Copies of this chain bind each other. A is one copy, B any other.
């Protein structure tokens, strides 16, 4: 049985894991870089150890140092959180070698999940549909044409050396494909000495929908419903929710079973996520397994009532999953907004610095996972996620209303955030109707609407701000002296100005 867990992470996810450790009576070990001496996870853990310089490679990615710290502190398990070493198969192997219980899948399974071509092959064998296209690299144009004809135009011609949108060509017919293949092949050979192109069906308007998975050491596997994560910027999720507005119980059962089959296909163990793309016609294509706890796991926790970190620990302890698929029912609706430190109008560029003030919302159905406190810092060394605001409601509309309110109550001073953007999105008719897609921001010109909303908001507060400004001027001229705090002595009569 796990008695002491080292958390190989920082920020809100380290705090999240510590909370479950505390609830279960498990001791927690935090690690920290130079930059994180004053971070909240360091303060909350049973024990905390310094592991290196600010740069991740010298601290949170330093496998040897982390494993050594775990052993020296007497920890018997490691929780990797997300990011950093969480999907590093070598790290999982190293833990196993050092007899540390790695809370996640095996290195072998992780490698399978991480290699797109191997994973695709495994899925094909398990009859889990993936995006149609070439099963691997296409050397010759005739082969590419065959595939394109089979899957239907338009198709994307991609280079394995590309990434982030580079090297991708959209082609609509045979002629375009021939031209593009020649060009791309030439470019690739010039740049990398060889060509490595593949063909994939072009999916014009897609939703990102994923299924939470859990599989124990005894082979029991379940899915814990879907999460709709279509609101994105630069292929990174901004808003997630469960259930999805386009998944009914029949679809949930059907695609959920595919997700479970995918987990079995790669011999996945512990909690994970199967990601799918969904077309407007209702077709789902598997894209990958995220071999770790997901940032957006709280929405699943709120609609299932489960503590997923506890479930992870139980599975790592070798316990069977304590429920069956049929015991799980979606309860209400949960929405999460990722509160990143970034400037919406600077193309979501990072914004870092000291948090001079912060008000964290609360109330029925409101949950906030965050490392922020007044005086804390947002470091440029690490990712921009400062907080996750999650609301639960009996239905989508109640959850949405609570989110709108909670966003208004969330005040962060010192860095830019996407809070105003979320307020705009949550109030659009398109979001309310559930007309979501990964290009939601562009498709509905959300940033233009945000600009209008911000102007309206400023205009509405102009009177209040002007009043405060007038008084401040007087104050600065020493014409007003701030009055003393009310005395609370029982005998004192309050003044009544």
Contact = CB atoms under 8 A, between A and B. Distances in A.
Interface of A: 19-20, 22-25, 34-35, 37-38, 54, 298, 301, 305-307, 331-332, 352-354, 360, 362-364, 367-368, 375, 377, 379-380, 394, 398, 401-402, 405, 485-486, 488, 490, 494, 496
Which one of A19, A37, A301, A402 has the highest number of Cβ atoms from chain B below 10 Å of its Cβ? Answer: A19
**Looking at chain A's contact residues, is the secondary structure mostly helix, strand, loop, or mixed?**
loop
Given A19-B363, A380-B490, 11 more contacts: A19-B405, A23-B398, A25-B401, A34-B494, A298-B364, A301-B364, A305-B331, A307-B394, A307-B398, A353-B488, A360-B362
Contact of A35 (B34, B380, B494): B494
Given A486-B377, A494-B54, A23 B362 contact: no
Given A362-B368, A364-B367, A401 B23 contact: yes
Nearest to A408: B22
A306 B394 contact: yes
Contacts of A375: 485
Contact of A19 (B352, B364, B394): B364
A370 to B, nearest CB: 9
A345 to B, nearest CB: 21
Given A354-B488, A360-B362, A405 B22 contact: yes
Copies of the chain in the assembly: 2
Given A35-B494, A494-B37, A24 B401 contact: yes
Given A305-B394, A377-B488, A486-B37, A23 B494 contact: no
Nearest to A380: B490
A101 to B, nearest CB: 22
A301 B405 CA distance: 19
Contacts of A367: 362, 364
A20 B367 CA distance: 16
B405 A23 contact: yes
Q: Which 9 A-B pairs have the closest CB atoms?
A: A34-B494, A23-B401, A377-B488, A19-B363, A305-B394, A354-B488, A22-B405, A23-B405, A380-B490
B364 A362 contact: no
Nearest to A54: B494
Contacts of A364: 19-20, 298, 301, 307, 367
A301 B365 CA distance: 10
Nearest to A392: B305
Nearest to A22: B405
A349 B261 CA distance: 62
A323 to B, nearest CB: 10
B38 A486 contact: yes
A368 B298 CA distance: 19
A332 B305 CA distance: 8
A382 to B, nearest CB: 13
Contact of A402 (B23, B54, B298): B23
A49 B19 CA distance: 42
Nearest to A402: B23
Contacts of A25: 401
B362 A34 contact: no
Contacts of A494: 34-35, 37, 54
A352 B24 CA distance: 35
A376 to B, nearest CB: 10
Nearest to A381: B490
A485 B360 CA distance: 23
A37 B497 CA distance: 11
Contacts of A22: 405
A310 to B, nearest CB: 8
Contacts of A486: 37-38, 377
Given A367-B364, A394-B306, A488-B354, A34 B496 contact: yes
A488 B379 contact: yes
A301 B363 CA distance: 12
A379 B492 CA distance: 12
Contacts of A54: 494
Contacts of A353: 488
A388 to B, nearest CB: 12
A342 B401 CA distance: 37
A8 to B, nearest CB: 21
